[in-house]
Every structure is written in structure tokens, then in C-alpha cells.
Amino acid sequence: MRPGTATAGAVRAAALLLGLAGLADTLWHGVAEPGNALAFGALVALGELARRGAHPEEREPAPLAAAAALAYALLGDDAGATTTHGVLQVVAVACAGGLAGIIPHIARGRGPDPDQLARRVLTVGFAALCFQPLYNAGAATDRLGLGAAYALFLLLVLVLTGLCDAVLAALLLRARTGYPYGPLLRDELRALLGIGSAVCATGVVMALGVTAAGLWALPLLAVPLLLTQISFRRYAAVRTVNRQTIASLARATEIAGCTPPGHARRVAALSTAVGRELGLGGTELTVLEYAALMHDIGQLSLVDPVAGGATALLPAEDQRRIALLGGEVVRMTGVPAAVARIVERQADPYREQPLPARIVRAVNAYDDLAGEDAAAALEALELLRLGTARDYHPEVVACLARVLARGGTPGVTSVPTG
């Protein structure tokens, strides 16, 4: 069992109980302001329907649904009329609208990630809990009015909600991957500046728009986020094509017989895991992955292939020559210049290397020595430890050992603990 699995189960259970409580309470007491509930529920359902074509790596595949649910959680007046819906009705509307929107995806066998649904329910419930009791008691409007101070109060609630969502996202990702919690939380907090800020801003604007103009403001305010979602999908598609192109280029060394089958893929997967363990995230991890995939591409420029493709066993001068040739090839492919620099510097003395180059060097050496032979894994790791005085950075080797002891990554030979 990975660390944090029990925590992830508790998060999902809490979301399920909150959703059931919201639906049961709303059915028992009836729906307050049915028009508002129907409008926001329909917008949530539309946002879930628009998740079609979402890429697995998207942090928020249904931003319109998230924004609409947050807007309902922060809804006070409706065109001057006071609303009376509470926290549990907000949760019920978010759940009902979400279920209506995801049924077609489930029917096609492409249901959403349960973790994302759990986060949605809990964060919307948190936002409603921060706002609705104060509004229904009159404390929010009596002290702040409906001007700038009120808008700042809504923004403060959304900041707290964003922090809550980041904590939950990092917890669930740790349970799924076993990566350290700190770097994962940092990545989630960085993501708040991207799609997270767009969702939060749209939620506030929707709530204020309905307060001023009524439900007619909803369709007008939903269009920009839908257009942003379409643009992001196109950007994500381009990134996917780029990654596939780089992976195809990396396989050229295998097709040419320069490296063993699967070597580049294993080095990339394990380098990414080690990078996360050492605190890399976002763009840094992407650059590291690309460099790890293409780290051996310099072998295509050699007249005589390296026996078995194991560059870690070559003299230092030959390793540097192959690395420099690889950097030249990588620059011709149009990938970011940072990738070429890592490929070039992977054979430098580790005290002069940037962290990504240290990772690629150590992981490449491990895979060259161990490959897919479980019996050789411990011996390979021991050789890396012996080389920490000159060839491999001690912290990187220690981190690699921790990742391997946890089970490594799919397709990578791991080592037992102890």
C-alpha cells in the first residue's frame, strides 16, 4: 500500500458523505429558489459535458462546471432579491448538475477521475461554508455592503478555497504516486496562478453578475471560459504531439541498434520520479523528461556503435564527446534549448552539472548497469554509491535508491528495501 492511501480513501469517503447529506437534506426540506438552483445546476452540467476531449494531464478538465459551482456557493442577492439557500443545497446542486453532465461520459466508458469529483464536492462545500452562514445571518452585507469590500470578501473566500483544493489535490496525488507531499503541494499552488485563477475569477464575477443583473448574466459570463477551455485543449494537443515526436526521436537509437529496447523510456520515467523526489515540478520536469528521452541520441553520430549502448561504461572523454554530439542533434529538433544543455552536460563532473543533468547521468548509469535484470539492480545501485566520490551526486543516488525501494515506476527494475 502506498503512503497516503488511507488518507485518499478518507477524502473520497468525506466527499461521498457530504454529497449524500446535501442531496438528502435538499430532498427533505425542498429546494429554495428553484430557478437559481436549476440555472446553476444546468451550467454545472454543461461544464461537465464540455470536458469531452479532455487530456489526462489537465488539472481542471471542466473549468466551467467548477466556476459555476463556486459561483452558486458565493451567491448572495439575485438582482436585489435575497437568497436563502444554504451550504447543503449548494452541495446538492453541484452534485446533481455534475452527475447529469458525466452520465454521457460514463455511458461511453470515459468517466471522470473520482479524485477530481471528490475535490469538487469538498471545495465547493468549503466555499459555501465560508460564505453562506455569514450571508444568511446578514453579517456579510450589513458590515460590507455590496461594493468593493464585498467583492474583496468573495476573493478572500476563493483564495482560501483554492488553498483547500491544492491541499486535497496534493494529498490525492501523493496517494496515487507516492511522491513527497511538499513538492506536490508546491506544484498545485503554482497551478492556482493558471487555470485555477481563471476558475476562481469567473466564479466571483458570476456571483457578482447575478447579484447585479440576475440569471441573465450567467450565459454571457460563461462564454469566455468556454473559449479559454477550447484554446487550452488545442494547446494541450500541440504539447501531446511534441511529446510523441520527441519519444519517436528517442526510439531512433533503439531502431538503429545503438541502445537496448525501452532504455530511453525507462530512463525518462525514472528520471521524472527522481526529479519529483528532489522537488522539481512543472516546466522543470517536462524539460527533464525530454532530456532523459533524448540523452543517447548522440550515439547516432558515431561511426562505431557503443557495445550494448552502455555509455556509462565508457571513458569520461568518450562520454563527453557523445553528450556534445547529442546536444547538437537535439538543437536541430526544435525542442527547448534547456533540453539540449542538459543532454550536453550529462557527462560533465557532477559538481559542475545542473540538477537535471545530475539526475539523467545517475539514472542512465543505473539502467545501463541493471537494465531489466532484477538480479543486477542491487549491484548497479551499489556501484553508483561507490561512484559518489567522483561520478554521481550523492543526494541524487540516495533519492534514486528511495524511488527504487518504493517500487520505482512501471517498466523499471526496482530493488528491495533494506
pLDDT at 129: 92
Q: What is the pLDDT of residue 372?
A: 65
pLDDT on residue 417: 46
Integer CA distances (angstroms), 393 to 52, 133, 354, 399, in order: 45, 55, 11, 10
Residues 6+ apart with CB under 8 A from 294: 246, 249, 250, 264, 326, 329, 330, 333, 335, 339, 343
pLDDT attached to residue 375 = 65
Digit-coded pLDDT (tens) for 189-226: 887 777 777 777 788 888 888 877 778 888 888 887 77
Beta bridge partners of 77: 82
Give how far Cα 280 sits from Cα of 184, 188, 248, 274, 285, Å. 9, 13, 25, 9, 6
Per-residue pLDDT of the chain (418 residues; tens, 9 = 90+): 454 577 788 888 999 999 999 999 999 998 988 988 999 999 999 888 877 655 555 566 678 888 889 989 988 877 777 788 889 999 999 999 989 888 887 878 777 778 888 888 999 999 999 888 888 777 666 666 666 777 788 788 888 888 898 899 888 888 887 777 877 888 888 877 777 777 777 888 888 888 777 788 888 888 877 777 777 777 777 777 777 878 777 787 777 777 788 888 888 989 998 998 888 877 888 889 988 888 888 777 665 666 665 666 677 787 888 888 888 888 877 777 888 888 888 888 888 888 999 999 999 888 888 866 666 778 888 888 888 878 888 999 899 988 888 765 655 555 544 4
Phi, psi dihedral angles at 332 (to 5 degrees): -75, -15
